Amino acid sequence: TIKQTPYEMIGGADTIARLVDAFYPRVLAHPDLAPIFPKDIGPVRDKQYLFLTQFFGGPPLYTEQHGHPMLRARHLPHPITPKRAQAWLSCMQQAMDEVGLSGEIRDFMFSRLALTAQHMINQTDEGP
């Protein structure tokens, strides 16, 4: 049997690029997320393109350019609350809609992103 990766199933590099392009304008427009992201979002967008490529089974571009992802560690300097995780996932759902991802593959990808987002939470909503 032929087994495709999610990356291949959704159309590869072009679709990942369209997804990150649809995602970050929403992040920067979200009142809970905008304050913790840099105004110059280009470098973050580029890293997310590299990361999502490998996360969904494409070539290991992030690791080639930036080393082991260590995503939780890389997020520790940023206050990631449950509310912000929900906001991030909501922006991602809208981006997936814009790009036209649907059906089982979209649900599979979203559930993997939701697990990762949950793992990034490093503060309560109330603060210490």
Which one among 4, 63, 66, 97 touches ligand HEM, defined by CB under 6 A?
A: 66
Residue from 112, 104, 113, 116 nearest 10 by CA: 104
Of residues 5-34, those binding ligand HEM (CB under 6 A): 33
Q: How many residues contact ligand HEM, by CB under 6 A?
A: 22
Q: Is residue 80 part of the contact set for ligand HEM (CB under 6 A)?
A: yes
42 binds ligand HEM (CB under 6 A): no
Under the criterion CB under 6 A, does residue 51 sit at the interface with ligand HEM? yes
Q: Which of 11, 14, 29, 78 contacts ligand HEM by CB under 6 A?
A: 78
Measured over the CA atoms of residue 59, residue 61, residue 67 and residue 69, the dihedral's sign is negative
Query: Is residue 16 within 8 Å of 52, Cβ to Cβ?
Result: yes
Give contact residues for ligand HEM (rule: CB under 6 A). Answer: 33, 36-38, 44, 47-48, 51, 55, 66, 71, 74-75, 78, 80, 84-85, 88, 113, 116-117, 120
